[in-house]
Chain A
Amino acid sequence: MIATLCAAALAGTTRFSLVREAGRDWLVTPGGRKTFSFGVCCVGHGQDFPDYDPAKPGYAGFRYYPSGSAWAQDAVDRLQKWGFNTIGAWSDTDLLRKPAAPNLLFTPILHMGSAAGAPWRDMWDPEIVALMDKIAKDQIVPLQKEKRVVGYFSDNEMGWWNAAMFEWSWKGPYSRVRLTDLLRRRYRGSWAALTKDFVPSEATSFAGLAKKGRVFLRPGGNGVEAVHAWMEVLAERYYFLCRSIIKKYDPGALYLGDRYISNFYPEVAKAAGKYVDILSTNLNADWPDGSFARFYLPNLERLCGKPMMITEYYECARDGRSGNRNDSSGFPVVDTQAERATAFLAQTRTLLETPYVVGAHWFQYYDEPKFGRDDGENYNMGLVDIDNRPYEEMTKASASLDLVRKHQRPLPALGDVRQGVPPLAERDLKDLAKWPRNRAYVPPTGLDERADLYFGWTPSGLYVTVYWNEDRFPEAYYKDGKIPASEHARLKLTVNGKSFNLDLETTPLAIHRTLDTRCWAILKLAPGVYRAGQAVSLDANLITRSHAYRAHWHGKYTLSS
């Protein structure tokens, strides 16, 4: 026992750790040096010779190097020359470990949950747990002696979709019993109380529900709060399992979380905070210039209370040399490599200056194939093109960053409407990307919002944009598979004493509306005659779909020129 304890203590001093100094979080190397993990995802050799299809060209190491080790040596040399210090997820770790590079960090991903079906399948089922254990063990054991491994991501972009998770929870025998028990306690054993918030199906009592059937949200009810309580239970289970399994096979490794899909659920993030060493999230910029919604990082950090790592971020340009179409989904796209490098640099600087961020991993090493990946994704995401030629604008930008010095700099103040409500150009009204979003930003009254509010004006009207996140598959909450109008996202507004109660999904006041997991509605309110210097009072309450989350803004602001 003593020997074990000593070994564990010793292992701790030879591995990475975290420290908070002067309000900033740092990753500390085994040698005791403070560092910032600046990494690249998918540092891989690309397509293999047997699969390479010249009609669908993509990155393929065998075309540029005589052997895998020659490729690895060059990749390591290049990345370090370009200022990176970390090999991110989905990289060819086995090959990249070979070149001598003592200061290189590795952060492998295990997929230990998703490959076993978690968190969708029953995480109390011993077979699922055993599978998670085996998946992690098979990958960690061969790396146990590799002290350059910072730690492990348990998964990537897991579907923490609340409504769908709630549905799946009825499919596992162990999760069903636990969920039923949670509802019974929450409603103090009263089936009648439960049915005020939920519509039962194939169950008429808690005892019956423990065996068969399920419940759906009742429109107008408040069942979503019970669902959130259940999400926290699920998330606690997941993070507990992942942490204990990873530490079982490598006690010195940090647990790096599960890389959120540029979207988070407060209950899940709160639970994660109890188990992860570093909370990770992928971060798809909300706008092409590489900027993010203002609520995202600060609120996520407040919820989890842990240092954070940005595990994917992106910027693409239309003039990439690989022939990518850059149109299959919502990644930020600009015209030229020069603009791309500027936006990349802006994103990286922001992340470096964010005090609680300890790492940023660029996605990815090479461009996607000319005609797209198998899933259709087709973007100029590479530091190199599919012919292995570097994008020099990008590599110059990455090489220009002095990571440690930059991470010590304070985040510059971005400004908000308290310094004056900005005027809007008529031609840009419907395009939030072109709004002066920092000046138009309205600070919320609370801390946990998953929404931003922007406020601007023209001489003929006031404009409010609400930008918020929604669940995916929310229809799964309802028995008939449709979201009733009563459960739509709503915004209750009072502007200069005039009140609105708007259904954000249908209101004709919206001059633009996007409804997805990222939603925004640009509203034209209170037509009239406005001029600089006028004071406007604003009170806004957002209630997201199914009454899931709320946000509140309140203040009196002056229109500025």
Chain B
Amino acid sequence: MTMLSMVAFAALITGTMPSSPPPQARQKVSMEFYVVQGPDAQKRYSFAKNGKPFWSWGVDCVTTGAAWESYDTGNRAYAAFHHFSNCQAWAEDTAAKLRAWGFNSLGGWSDFDLFKRYTPDSRLPYFEVLHLGSYDNAPWNDMFDPTFKEAIESAAKSLLPKFVDDPMLVGYFTDNELGWWGDSLFKSYFAMPSSAPGKVRLVRMLRSHYDDDFGRLRRDWETDAAGFDELAKARDITLRPGGEGAQAVNEWLRVLGERYYSVVYDAIRRYDAHHLILGDRYIQYYNIEIAKSSAPYIDVASTNLGADWTDGAISHFFLDTLHKATKRPVIITEFYMCATENRSGNKNSSDGFPVVATQAERAAAFGRYVRHVASLPYVVGAHWFQFTDEPEKGRGDGEDYNMGLVDIFGKPYQGMIRASQSIDFEGIRRAASNPGAPAKVSVPKAPAEPMAGLKAWPRDAGFLPPDSPFPTADLYVAADGDYLYLGLYSMEYMDESLYAGGKVPESERSRWVIQLGDAAPIEIRFGGKDRPPIPSNASVGLHEIPGLRNTLIARIPRPAGTEVVLHSRFETHSRGEFVSWRMPLELEK
């Protein structure tokens, strides 16, 4: 469906279309899923089909599990053939369970073929992950080489005929967790030979970015090249500290994003004119420039997103900014919650996914997460990852998490099931929310150990709304008798390799400025993995938990008085992105 017809269908739902659309159009409506915005005050988005809105509550990887042929009795895993005499019995049982547990769709990588074959009446719409980019190693191979477009088109040609007429398909994810990493993408294209179409495009971008003025480029970049022609032949370049080269990197990412999203869009639309195009499932991180560049070519933005805290809460900025940057509704394509207490023997041993102690805590956090995202007007669905626990000793890549609704023996985790069943999606979607930014914030009481991390903080009461249109950070406030605490929770990928020596120099590291009333501004330079953060004022205490999500907590002697205006500004490394806050704070006596 094109964006234009989406608008038309939205109008149809809200009742402004002529009363009898042409018969052909009506038939189309009955076949396909599309996106609508509701008539309510918040203009809630949802999928819809046949005029009926549909909020997708799905499960990823609903599969028969381990293959019998390769089953390893030394590493037990979910295997439908151990529990069912045949696949039809499995499909019937599983579809009935998912329905009874409150789910209404099959997320990525599910055995939808089997459900279609054996339970055609289960009416579980599904989503397909095409992995189109993987047919030419996108975005790493030269995406401007004509062979890239050919490879993607030929992949679409072979993949799509199976889906094109399927009314149970909601739409396509074009890929999963592509590596949109700024430094590597800039460097790998720069390292291509001068004749490579990708290098030609990069040099053209740099010429235009610097208005053909090589002197200006030299202010931002360190290179032996004497001009743009030599630059085309050079294989390496590094950012000059103090320069604004990060803006050129951002522009390059927009160019790459535009290329990827337009090519996959064209390829899909060539073989399927209607099904929704649902983005490429970001890896719990997105680059704003990439997200912006996707906007014209997607119907819905997608991201994988675990809870930021193990109570199931997530940051404010992540989904808000993704929605604003893409101007599209958002679907959460994976989220996770694991417990140490599990029946599959999962050790949950790498990091990157939230882990709690008990199944009760797990179920509570899971419920909180879903209720929250369902309340966001622009979120059109959430897909739990995944149907079963991972194998007891881990998958091939070592991942060994208690991620299942059922354990490896096929037995459901009842707490999770009850949590899913108890969610009143319609009620949540009807409720008014979004009260808008407050005029001032009453500073809540800090927890016992405020410097330990933000999990124990009163994050709802202490949230400070940003002033910026595309924030990449949340700011929280709390106080006790002696100190005011500010917690900055930001998303940032460190483009270390763009600098000589492979490290972002101190002068270029992320920076956070705090000004309380008329007091002198406090400037904080982030540390990172192996260095402590540095405050400009020795009275300020700092604790940093670095990563793609960075927590930085500042302890500042409590200002005098009961009201103080906070000005704050966060700059990502190399001044790539900016977020600012301005908010009067009310302090209890």
Which residues of B sit under 8 angstroms from A63, Cβ to Cβ?
Answer: 85
Tell whether, in the assembled complex, residue B88 and residue A49 are in contact, meaning their CB atoms are under 8 Å apart.
no
Cβ 8 A contact of A53, one of B67, B73, B86 = B86
Complex: chain B residue closest to A60, CB-CB: B86
B93 at the interface (CB under 8 A from A): no
B68 touches which of A45, A53, A54 (Cβ 8 Å):
A45
Q: Does B210 touch A at the CB level, under 8 Å?
A: no
| A54 adjacent to B71 (CB under 8 Å) | no
B114 close to A (CB within 8 Å): yes
**Proximity string of chain B (65-92) to chain A, C-beta cutoff 8 Å, 1 when within and 0 when not:** 0011111110000001110011110000
Q: Mark B83-114, 1 if CB is under 8 A from A, else 0.
A: 00111100000000000000000000001001
In the docked arrangement, what's the CA distance between A70 and B73, Å? 9
Indicate which residue in A52, A67, A70, A92 contacts B87 across the interface (CB closer than 8 Å).
Answer: A52
- A66 engages B111 (CB within 8 Å): no
Known: A49-B80, A66-B73, A67-B73. A61 touches B68 (CB 8 A): yes
B87 close to A95 (CB less than 8 A) = no
Are B87 and A49 touching (Cβ within 8 A)?
yes
Which A residues touch B86, using CB under 8 A? 49, 52-54
Would you call A68 and B69 a contact (CB within 8 A)? yes
Q: How far is the CA of A172 from the CA of B72 in the complex (A)?
A: 50
**Interchain CA distance A66-B68 in the complex, whole Å:** 7
Given A61-B68, A66-B73, A95-B69, do A50 and B87 touch, yes or no (CB 8 Å)? Answer: yes
Contact B71 A49 (CB under 8 A): no
Contacts of A67 in B (CB 8 A): 68-69, 71-73
Is B64's beta carbon under 8 Å from chain A? yes
* CB-defined contacts of B70 to chain A, threshold 8 Å: 68
CA distance A45 to B68 in the complex (A): 10
Chain A 42-80 residues near chain B, CB threshold 8 A: 45, 48-54, 61-63, 66-70
Q: In the complex, A94 Cα to B82 Cα: how many Å?
A: 22
Q: Are A54 and B73 also in contact (CB < 8 A) when A49-B68, A61-B68, A67-B68 are?
A: no
Given the contacts A50-B111, A50-B114, A68 and B68 also touching, CB distance less than 8 Å: yes
CB-CB < 8 A to A45: which residues of B? 68-69
In Å, the complex CA distance between A61 and B81 comes to 10
Given contacts A62-B81, A66-B82, contact A51 B87 (CB under 8 A): yes
**B-side contacts of A68, CB under 8 Å:** 67-71
A371 to B279, CA, bound (A): 46
Give the shortest distance, in Å, between A349 (CB) and chain B (any CB): 36
Q: How far is B69's CA from A295's CA once the two chains are assembled, in angstroms?
A: 44
The CA-CA distance from A174 to B85 in the complex, in Å, is 54
Verify A49–B73 contact, CB threshold 8 A: no
Q: Which residues of B contact A54 (CB under 8 A)?
A: 85-86, 88
In angstroms, Cα B69 to Cα A54, docked, is 20
Q: Scan residues 22-55 of chain A and give those whose CB is less than 8 A from a CB of chain B.
A: 45, 48-54
CB neighbours (8 Å) of B69 from chain A are 45, 48, 67-68, 92, 95
Given the complex, which residues of A lie within 8 Å of B80, measured CB to CB?
A: 49
* Count, chain A residues at interface, CB 8 A: 18
Q: Which chain B residue has the least Cβ–Cβ distance from A61? A: B68
CB distance from B387 to the nearest CB of A (A): 15
CB–CB A48/B68 < 8 A: yes
Bound-state Cα–Cα, A67 to B391, Å: 15
Task: For residue A43, give the distance in angstroms from its CB to the closest CB of chain B.
Answer: 14
Secondary structure type dominating chain B contacts? loop
Docked pose: A360 CA to B67 CA in angstroms:
33
Which among B64, B70, B86, B114 has the greatest number of chain A C-beta atoms within 10 A?
B86
**Chain A residues with CB under 8 A of B67:** 68
- Complex Cα–Cα for A95 and B64 (A): 20
Residues of B within 8 A of A49 (CB): 64, 68, 80-81, 86-87
Which residues of chain B come closer than 8 Å to A70, judged between CB atoms? Answer: 73
Contact B88 A62, beta carbon cutoff 8 Å:
no
CA distance A69 to B69 in the complex (A): 7
Chain B residue with Cβ nearest A50: B87
Cα distance A49–B80 when bound, in Å? 8
Nearest Cβ in chain A — how far from B477, in angstroms? 55
Binary per-residue interface labels of chain A (297-332) against chain B in the complex, 1 for a CB within 8 Å, 0 otherwise: 000000000000000000000000000000000000
Q: Which of A49, A54, A66, A68 has the most CB of B within 10 A?
A: A49
Known: A49-B81, A50-B64, A50-B114. A66 touches B71 (CB 8 A): yes
Residues of A within 8 A of B64 (CB): 49-50
Instruction: Say how far A366's CB is from chain B's closest CB, in angstroms.
Output: 16
A70-B111 Cα distance, complex, nearest whole Å: 26
Contacts of A92 in B (CB 8 A): 69
Contacts of B68 in A (CB 8 A): 45, 48-49, 61-62, 67-68
Interface residues of B in 50-68 (CB under 8 A from A): 64, 67-68
Complex Cα gap A52–B71 (Å): 18
State in angstroms the CA–CA spacing of A51 and B90 once bound together.
Answer: 12
Return A121 CB to nearest CB of chain B, in Å. Answer: 23
A52 to chain B, nearest CB (A): 5
B residues in contact with A62, CB < 8 Å: 68, 81
Q: Using Cβ atoms and an 8 Å threshold, which residues of chain A touch B111?
A: 50
Closest to B80 in A: A49
> In whole angstroms, how far apart are the Cα atoms of A110 and B386 in the complex?
39
Q: Tell me which residues across on chain A come within 8 A of B88, comparing CB atoms.
A: 53-54
In the bound complex, residues from chain A placing their C-beta under 8 Å from that of B82 are: 66
Considering the chains assembled together, what is the distance between the CA atoms of A193 and B72 in angstroms? Answer: 71
Say how far B143's CB is from chain A's closest CB, in angstroms: 28
A68, B67: Cα distance in complex, Å: 9
Least CB distance, B562 to chain A, in whole angstroms? 68
A153 to B322, CA, bound (A): 58
* CB-CB nearest in chain B for A66: B73
In whole angstroms, what is the CA distance A95 to B80 when docked? 20
Whole-angstrom distance between the alpha carbons of A293 and B278 in the complex?
66
* CB of B520 to closest CB in A, whole Å: 69
Interface centre among A45, A51, A62, A68 (most CB of B within 10 A): A62
What is the distance, in angstroms, from A164's C-beta to the closest C-beta of chain B?
Answer: 32
- Bound CA span A51–B64, Å: 12
Question: With the chains together, A92 CA to B70 CA distance in Å?
Answer: 12
Q: Which residues of A contact B71 (CB under 8 A)?
A: 66-69
Chain A residue contacts of B87, Cβ below 8 A: 49-52
Query: In the bound complex, how far is the Cα of B36 from the Cα of A228, in angstroms?
Result: 71
| Complex: A320 Cα to B425 Cα, angstroms | 58
A149 shortest CB reach to chain B, Å: 20
Complex Cα–Cα for A66 and B69 (A): 9
Residues of A311-359 whose CB lies within 8 A of B: none
- The distance in angstroms between the C-alpha atoms of A48 and B71, with both chains bound, is 13
Within the complex, the shortest CB–CB distance from B51 to chain A, in Å, comes to 35
What distance in Å separates the Cβ of B75 from its nearest Cβ neighbour in chain A?
Answer: 11
C-alpha spacing A62/B81, complex, angstroms: 7
Residues of A within 8 A of B85 (CB): 54, 63
A-B contact pairs, 22 of them (CB 8 A): A45-B68, A45-B69, A48-B68, A48-B69, A49-B64, A49-B80, A49-B87, A50-B64, A50-B114, A52-B87, A53-B86, A54-B85, A62-B68, A62-B81, A63-B85, A66-B71, A66-B73, A67-B68, A67-B69, A67-B73, A68-B68, A69-B71
Extra inter-chain contacts (8) besides given A49-B86, A54-B85, CB under 8 Å: A50-B87, A50-B114, A62-B81, A63-B85, A67-B69, A68-B69, A68-B70, A68-B71
Query: Hey, which bits of chain A sit against chain B, CB under 8 A?
Result: 45, 48-54, 61-63, 66-70, 92, 95
Q: Which 10 residue pairs across A and B have the least CB separation, nearest first?
A: A67-B71, A68-B69, A62-B68, A62-B81, A49-B81, A52-B86, A50-B87, A54-B86, A49-B87, A68-B68
**Which B residues fall within an 8 A CB radius of A?**
64, 67-73, 80-82, 85-88, 111, 114
